[in-house]
Structure 1
């Protein structure tokens, strides 16, 4: 491609051309690990990579709407000055619900207009300690509550594979720009699937680490159940492994076994539980079921033992999680003036946030029982799967990526919450119990040109096992 190319020719199946930023520049088609090798060899400089990434973002963001705040010149200057760390010189982006000194933290909401932050969040310090060059912040749906990065009063973030479709949420801005090739890696975080969902929608690798693996999330650590953990989305398993090792080098998790650098498949053959339909009762659609079944066949061919599994889960788990979701919306509205902006106006919260908040206020008195049941149900389900299997293979989502508008916060709340419950049916349990899980691209795309994600869930602290299996699956796809 020439330097002006931002897309490829239309797909043979009739889907529109993907929005791609790949071009003949310093970044080329390399992933993080490939760029690090070229930096070490002196073939490119950190400044050249930062400039190329800035130009790529400029080229595609008019169609993707994924950037919240750009600080290209500051990032380029930082790259020119030089940074230290195992990922030094790699251009990246931070999600706009995480405090970064000098930039506002908008949280995706029109209810506030905060000023620049005075300090980094704990995870931001860990993230930047890897040496990466930050070029700005990416968009998310309001407070990260939605599984699609859409808004009532602004353009949605679009999927680079097919711009009529969602890029997922809540880390949709980060996922769209990584999938398009604008940057090779970007920050994401996950409170109910928000790393794994956009990774699945955009054909990326998205690891939700074990709770406690990363520095405590500022939002999550203040919650009754800490469901939020930070990480990144990447285009390759080796990049996710490199990021995890670099983050661990910056901050070691005292209560978890170290992961170290995972560089390929493991030798041990594993017991794999195959979970095709959600334990909450949601039935998986045909395209997603086919992707997961095909992945199970690959794992069997590689010598792993796969058997179908039904996870025992309290029938009230889904309802209780929505109630907890409502508690988070209530807290966002109640603390907005204190934590975000003294001019915060909760009347300007979007339809999803308002609906969740109002639902919670009708049943706030059930909170203690909801918290007890959530903890117990998640732990019992986790212990059952951990006793039986080394990993569990499942869909990331119960159906394929929806068109934009399907999950818009403008949809009437009763209908929207029903749609979300029948879409986000697999990911929340890992957030409640704290276990690690990874989203990987499945073996085929939909007729609309969209990826279909599959998920591997593991035992607490066993990210190494997930990455080793992920390497095998990635290699099987060529």
Structure 2
């Protein structure tokens, strides 16, 4: 299979660097796509991160309207198999129930991605409907962490993170409804930004504030790639029910300058949840690093009712998901999810949520309001708060209690098992605020450990500024000479 670079050279390029080489005429978009195809052939048998490649988009990158004069100049891009639809392409959402599903049109964000010059060459793995934190249903597929294939990828943007970490592509699509960009980015040594609500469109999905707990985005190996992605793809679709934020200056320009000295709170005590002891030591080390860069750092926890927040978030997920399943059932003329085609916990979520009352939803939305305003007051005094991206070590594959294959009869207990390990990221999803996982630490297993910074709404640019400052302070690369066990350069 044709390649135009050796694998060390390929892995050393971020998407911005590849686009520059295309613009200078040194390489073509088709040659980049062919190299990414070769990388999939090399890597996918070992980690199972890519579901399908689109041969026509590889052969002709302008397929389906990709703008080769856009900022990314035809750089190959993988789309998570969940979220924005791609016209006439399969989107099966990690589920046997969805096999054969083909959206009839491109989602708005899909058109933005194409206009940005990203060539969508394939789709990546996700747990069924993106619900749980690992991709491991042997009847569908299993995705492994390239840093150590014995470990889970976390999720739900599992295949995208594994593909970028292993060097298949430098940039990939991801979605985040409670940490699904940030958590797997944190365990893969990647940058994972969950933008503020009102930056990237989720059209044509829910025009309802609780629908916007889930946002779109990307995972990358460089801050400038993430900044360029947001600059190029942001904005609301026709008919959005709320305003969309605009930045006075492109993020790609903002990140060239260090932020002013920031007031950064630090905590790992999040309601009833606490971090693993090693994670606390890595958090302390990160706090010292921030102080060395001139930032004011204190150990402070927001005065937020975390129990209320987790309860409301759980209610939101269950009720939204039940209605999502119900619409699928109605389209297929079914009265309940088939046990042979839908994973057990997802059936129980439908059962739990399908008859949820308006009063329960009202109580949930009231909690959304209270928690959001309490966090807003906190961010009047603090620019950011730092925690680990997750609170417990990345599990080995097969930890069934985190999977939607679990036989746990109690859906609420199953969810609270998730919160026990994914403690820190859901708050930004509930409140619509911005959060980013930055690869600044390591787990004792040798797998990366992200550090998670949260900030107020529409302050995404300052998160990226800080990330770029940290990246420069570390010599221009967070991971430096560390390479996953499964990688194109090995």
Same fold by TM-score greater than 0.5: yes
CA–CA distance in structure 2, aligned partners of residues 63 and 190 of structure 1 = 26
Contact 2:74 2:118 in 1 (8 A): yes
- Between stretches 366-375 and 239-248, larger displacement belongs to 366-375
CA–CA distance in structure 2, aligned partners of residues 288 and 358 of structure 1 = 37
The aligned residue for residue 366 of structure 2 is 373
The aligned residue for residue 7 of structure 1 is none
Shift of 1:222: 5.1
Contact 1:99 1:120 in 2 (8 A): yes
- Between stretches 22-31 and 102-111, larger displacement belongs to 22-31
Q: Which residue among 159, 162, 167 is the counterpart of 2:145?
A: 159
The aligned residue for residue 256 of structure 1 is 245
- Between stretches 412-421 and 64-73, larger displacement belongs to 412-421
Residue correspondence of structure 1 range 165-176 to structure 2 within 5 A: 165-176=151-162
Matched, 1:178 2:171: no
CA–CA distance in structure 2, aligned partners of residues 116 and 215 of structure 1 = 20
Contact 1:275 1:308 in 2 (8 A): yes
CA–CA distance in structure 1, aligned partners of residues 117 and 237 of structure 2 = 13
Contact 1:26 1:48 in 2 (8 A): no
Shift of 1:84: 2.6
CA–CA distance in structure 1, aligned partners of residues 68 and 365 of structure 2 = 46
CA–CA distance in structure 1, aligned partners of residues 11 and 189 of structure 2 = 19
Contact 1:313 1:380 in 2 (8 A): no
Contact 1:336 1:344 in 2 (8 A): no
Matched, 1:67 2:70: no
The aligned residue for residue 437 of structure 1 is 435
SS of residue paired to 1:202: coil
**What is the root-mean-square deviation of aligned Cα atoms in Å?**
2.7
Contact 2:182 2:389 in 1 (8 A): yes
Q: Which residue among 265, 277, 289 is the counterpart of 1:286?
A: 277
CA–CA distance in structure 2, aligned partners of residues 41 and 338 of structure 1 = 52
Q: Deviations over 1:405-433 (max 9, x none)?
A: 22232222246434212011111111111
Shift of 1:366: 4.9
SS of residue paired to 2:97: coil
Contact 1:272 1:391 in 2 (8 A): yes
- Between stretches 288-297 and 371-380, larger displacement belongs to 371-380
Matched, 1:333 2:325: yes
What is the total number of aligned residue pairs between the two structures? 457
SS of residue paired to 1:299: helix
Q: Which residue among 462, 467, 478 is the counterpart of 2:464?
A: 467
301 and 130 in structure 1: CA distance in 2 versus 1, 3 angstrom threshold: same
SS of residue paired to 1:111: helix
Shift of 1:100: 0.2
Q: Which residue among 294, 304, 310 is the counterpart of 2:301?
A: 310
SS of residue paired to 2:7: coil
The aligned residue for residue 69 of structure 2 is 84
CA–CA distance in structure 2, aligned partners of residues 207 and 184 of structure 1 = 15
411 and 438 in structure 1: CA distance in 2 versus 1, 3 angstrom threshold: same
CA–CA distance in structure 1, aligned partners of residues 96 and 192 of structure 2 = 28
366 and 38 in structure 1: CA distance in 2 versus 1, 3 angstrom threshold: same
319 and 111 in structure 1: CA distance in 2 versus 1, 3 angstrom threshold: same
SS of residue paired to 2:312: helix
- Between stretches 262-271 and 408-417, larger displacement belongs to 408-417
SS of residue paired to 2:69: coil
CA–CA distance in structure 2, aligned partners of residues 129 and 192 of structure 1 = 28
CA–CA distance in structure 2, aligned partners of residues 368 and 382 of structure 1 = 21
CA–CA distance in structure 2, aligned partners of residues 422 and 25 of structure 1 = 39
Contact 2:199 2:236 in 1 (8 A): no
23 and 291 in structure 1: CA distance in 2 versus 1, 3 angstrom threshold: farther
Matched, 1:24 2:21: no
Q: Which residue among 354, 357, 379 is the counterpart of 2:350?
A: 357
Q: Deviations over 1:238-259 (max 9, x none)?
A: 1111211222489899642315
Contact 2:193 2:218 in 1 (8 A): yes
- Between stretches 136-145 and 401-410, larger displacement belongs to 401-410
Q: TM-score, normalization: structure 2?
A: 0.86
Q: TM-score, normalization: structure 1?
A: 0.88
SS of residue paired to 2:314: helix
Q: Which runs of 5+ in 2 are unaligned?
A: 476-490
25 and 463 in structure 1: CA distance in 2 versus 1, 3 angstrom threshold: same
Shift of 1:459: 1.5
- Between stretches 68-77 and 172-181, larger displacement belongs to 68-77
Q: Deviations over 1:96-143 (max 9, x none)?
A: 112101212212222232443221011111111101111111111111
26 and 120 in structure 1: CA distance in 2 versus 1, 3 angstrom threshold: farther
CA–CA distance in structure 1, aligned partners of residues 265 and 8 of structure 2 = 44
